[in-house]
């Protein structure tokens, strides 16, 4: 019926629904320009090299290969028949949630009933929050006091996945304890899928993010953007819907009939249908655009390497001329509108972030102490209980206390002045960095401990663990200090630079075209005056930002003083360990076999020749759930009366034994006094 409704719209409405063609055309032009610029910057960085402190911790290349994050049963509302059913949810290493009719369906490897990609979603735990967002999505449709909502929850503990454009998902559990656990898991799924653009790609990622930013700036949208999350096709779909949705809402809202809840439901169905069409078109158009740019990469690469010196000289010449025009205005703006606010914003950023990283350190320390106690109390002298440590960074409940610290970050009073839509962009980035630091610390500990045991054996095992622990904690202190300082600089740039561009563009934009005429035609693909203008503005603010971060670094309460302890890179062999495969602790040092990584196992097997217990152990090796126990109760698909409690998931206080949207302005890992490259995330 939605298709029939849309087909009856007038020609104007149909043109509005094809709005994404215009968006993709303009974005495609910007992307091709920024692709050449990003390729030039990448090659130049490779040739000239980058300085800056080297990380002390090792980095795991594929941290979640063949692992699962969570699984369990809960109530799920089905839009098709408007009923609640008990479904089994499974979260694999991709963080895309799959839901099955029952656990038996999952164990039999049947196709899931559906899959949820959580990019762009918000996790809500009350109907009041949800109804407020629904009311804001259709401002012309106001709920009366005491009106009945269109959805009645199966229990008083709901979990709702809300998206401004796409389909909503409704779940319920039976206890507050379950709600907290599932909320942590769903938040992890949102956080991970939002972080969909890899930093490893030094060409595609900066080209894409700069093109998106420049497109939004051309349409008057400066500052951070909450919907810069997910894969490129999802981000582009959000970009299209940002302009299309208001027109679609004005067109359709007067035509919606019926009771309040019916109009709200119908609007959500229409929005989801349009979003699905837009995403399908954006994905195919972006793939074609990307293939076009990749096809021209070899010729662009050859041109850059042939004329590198001339391109750099030409760019420096244009940069000096633009500086003469822009710097006086930028410095005046800095003095009046930026400098008075740097310290207050930095304090607001540093306090919760530093508490978060301190909590990461504390959780890591507690888990190692717990592991040492278990090892000491074990009757075997050679058993090492590593199963609780190996995937600590991806444990939703154990990491929750770390993430909660930074949730208190608030920029209230400054958001409107500097066009910061929400602090969630910074919160999510800090949480991602915290997770990366935790995993790096765990991985480094594993490698160092394994190296020590190979050379020294298992005698005095607890002392060996203690030495490895102290060594890793020192490296964590050093790296976390460096990571936080970079995060603070990026966050300040993301807040101030869009504001400065918005203020300076009206007076400077008319003067920029004349500088483009000074660039040789052969170099014009790699030198764009718009990019140079932004780099000049960026550099004008960097001195004050660097100074503010340096001054804050000496304050002991932020724990940034630790990087003054010079850690020599006297561990060349340590970094070689990073190339080693994952360690099978169960095989080598007597850990629990059912909890080891099952990567490389034969997942097919021969069920007819195996006992039920053997098949069960095989499944546990194939998919290692960090939280869910394989022995939890299996519920039939008809049951809607109770949900398993997942009691095997430890609560935060039971465990202890006493870092999109990417930053919009990313700093390259170079020395602080070298030129910084402007990059949008």
Does position 601 have pLDDT exceeding 60, yes or no? Answer: no
pLDDT band for position 6 (cuts 50, 70, 90)? low
Instruction: For residue 200, give both structure tokens.
Output: 């490893």
Of the listed ranges 123-127, 531-535, 648-652, the one predicted with least confidence: 648-652
Choose between 212 and 558: higher pLDDT: 212
Residue holding tokens 């009945």? Answer: 148
Does position 644 have pLDDT exceeding 90, yes or no? Answer: no
pLDDT band for position 284 (cuts 50, 70, 90)? very high
What is the biggest distance separating any 2 CA atoms in the chain, rounded to whole angstroms? 81
pLDDT at 149: 63
Angle at 36 between CA 30 and CA 37, to 5 degrees: 85
Give tens-digit pLDDT for 444-473: 999 998 888 887 766 677 788 889 999 999
Choose between 185 and 586: higher pLDDT: 185
Does position 391 have pLDDT exceeding 90, yes or no? Answer: no
pLDDT at 667: 41
| DSSP-derived pairing of the beta strands 169-173 and 83-92 | unpaired
Give tens-digit pLDDT for 105-136: 999 999 999 999 999 999 999 988 888 888 77
pLDDT at 675: 36
Average pLDDT (505-517) is 88
Average pLDDT (21-50) is 91
Overall fold of domain 70-195 = PH-domain like (2.30.29)
pLDDT band for position 256 (cuts 50, 70, 90)? confident
pLDDT at 420: 81
Mean pLDDT taken over the chain: 79
Alpha helices in 76-169 (DSSP H): 103-107, 127-137
Instruction: For residue 659, give both structure tokens.
Output: 């870092």
Q: Cα-Cα-Cα-Cα dihedral of 47, 48, 54, 59, to 10°?
A: -20
The Cα–Cα gap between 574 and 12 comes to 64
Q: Which of 266, 226, 274, 230 is nearest to 248 (CA)?
A: 274
pLDDT band for position 266 (cuts 50, 70, 90)? confident
Choose between 107 and 64: higher pLDDT: 107
Choose between 657 and 361: higher pLDDT: 361
The Cα-based distances of 672 to 236, 543, 667 in angstroms read: 34, 9, 10
Instruction: Specify whether the CB–CB gap between 658 and 366 falls below 8 A.
Output: yes
Instruction: Specify whether the CB–CB gap between 26 and 212 falls below 8 A.
Output: no
Choose between 649 and 449: higher pLDDT: 449
Long-range contact pairs involving 125-131 (C-beta distance under 8 Å, separation at least 24) = 125/157, 125/158, 125/159, 125/160, 125/179, 125/183, 126/158, 127/151, 127/153, 127/158, 127/160, 129/160, 130/158, 130/160, 130/162
Cβ burial, residue 25 (10 Å; 0-12/13-18/19+): exposed
Residue holding tokens 């602080």? Answer: 672
pLDDT at 465: 86
Instruction: Specify whether the CB–CB gap between 554 and 417 falls below 8 A.
Output: no
Does position 409 have pLDDT exceeding 70, yes or no? Answer: yes
pLDDT at 190: 96
Does position 365 have pLDDT exceeding 90, yes or no? Answer: yes
Q: Which of 280, 281, 277, 252 is nearest to 267 (CA)?
A: 252
Average pLDDT (264-270) is 86
Query: What are the sequence ranges of the domains in the chain?
Result: 1-62+200-307, 70-195, 352-495+541-578
The Cα–Cα gap between 630 and 642 comes to 18
pLDDT at 380: 59
């Amino acid at each position: 019926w939605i298709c029939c409704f849309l087909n009856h719209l007038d020609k104007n409405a149909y043109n509005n629904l094809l709005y994404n063609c215009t968006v993709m055309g303009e974005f495609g032009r910007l992307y091709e320009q920024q692709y050449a610029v990003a390729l030039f910057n990448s090659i130049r960085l490779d040739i000239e090299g980058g300085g800056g402190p080297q990380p002390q911790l090792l980095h795991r290349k594929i941290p979640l290969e063949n692992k699962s994050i969570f699984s369990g049963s809960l109530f799920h509302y089905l839009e098709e028949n408007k009923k609640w059913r008990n479904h089994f949810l499974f979260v694999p290493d991709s963080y895309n949630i799959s839901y099955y009719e029952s656990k038996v369906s999952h164990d039999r490897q049947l196709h899931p009933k559906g899959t949820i990609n959580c990019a762009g979603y918000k996790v809500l735990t009350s109907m009041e929050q949800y109804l407020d967002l629904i009311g804001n999505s259709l401002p012309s449709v106001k709920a009366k006091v005491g009106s009945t909502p269109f959805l009645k929850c199966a229990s008083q503990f709901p979990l709702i996945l809300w998206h401004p454009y796409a389909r909503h998902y409704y779940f319920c559990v039976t206890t507050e304890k379950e709600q907290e656990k599932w909320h942590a898991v769903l938040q992890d799924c949102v956080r991970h899928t939002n972080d969909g653009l890899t930093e490893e790609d030094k060409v595609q990622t900066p080209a894409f993010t700069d093109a998106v930013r420049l497109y939004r700036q051309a349409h008057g949208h400066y500052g951070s953007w909450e919907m810069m999350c997910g894969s490129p096709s999802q981000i582009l779909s959000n970009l299209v819907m940002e302009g299309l949705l208001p027109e679609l809402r004005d067109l359709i809202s007067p035509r919606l009939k019926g009771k309040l809840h019916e109009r709200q439901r119908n609007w959500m169905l229409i929005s989801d249908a349009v979003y699905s069409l837009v995403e399908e078109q954006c994905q195919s158009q972006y793939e074609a655009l990307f293939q076009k740019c990749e096809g021209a990469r070899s010729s662009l690469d050859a041109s850059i390497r042939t004329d590198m010196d001339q391109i750099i000289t030409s760019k420096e010449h244009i940069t000096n001329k633009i500086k003469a025009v822009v710097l006086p205005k930028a410095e005046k703006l800095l003095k009046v509108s930026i400098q008075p606010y740097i310290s207050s914003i930095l304090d607001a950023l540093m306090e919760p972030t530093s508490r978060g990283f301190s909590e990461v350190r504390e959780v890591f320390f507690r888990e190692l102490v717990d592991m040492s106690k278990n090892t000491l109390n074990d009757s075997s002298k050679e058993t090492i209980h590593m199963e609780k440590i190996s995937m600590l960074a991806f444990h939703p409940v154990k990491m929750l206390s770390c993430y909660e610290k930074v949730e208190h970050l608030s920029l209230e009073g400054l958001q409107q002045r500097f066009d910061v839509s929400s602090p969630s962009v910074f919160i999510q980035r800090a949480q991602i960095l915290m997770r990366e630091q935790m995993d790096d610390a765990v991985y480094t500990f594993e490698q160092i401990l394994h190296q020590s045991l190979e050379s020294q054996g298992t005698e005095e095992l607890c002392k060996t663990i203690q030495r490895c622990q102290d060594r890793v904690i020192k490296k964590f202190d050093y790296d976390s200090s460096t990571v936080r300082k970079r995060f603070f600089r990026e966050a300040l740039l993301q807040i101030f630079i869009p504001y400065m561009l918005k203020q300076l563009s009206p007076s400077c934009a008319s003067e920029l075209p004349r500088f483009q005429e000074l660039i040789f035609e052969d170099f014009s693909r790699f030198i764009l005056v718009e990019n140079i203008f932004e780099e000049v503005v960026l550099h004008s603010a960097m001195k004050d930002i660097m100074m503010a971060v340096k001054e804050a670094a000496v304050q002991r309460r932020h724990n940034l003083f630790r990087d003054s302890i010079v850690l020599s890179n006297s561990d060349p062999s340590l970094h070689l360990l990073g190339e080693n495969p994952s360690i099978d602790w169960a095989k080598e040092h007597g850990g629990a076999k059912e909890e080891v990584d099952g990567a490389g196992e034969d997942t097919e097997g021969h069920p007819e020749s195996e006992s039920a217990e053997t098949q069960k152990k095989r499944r546990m090796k194939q998919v290692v759930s960090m939280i869910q126990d394989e022995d939890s109760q299996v519920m039939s698909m008809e049951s809607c009366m109770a949900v398993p409690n997942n009691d095997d998931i430890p609560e935060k206080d039971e465990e202890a034994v006493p870092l999109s949207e990417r930053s919009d302005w990313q700093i390259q890992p170079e020395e602080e006094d070298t030129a910084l490259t402007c990059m949008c995330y």
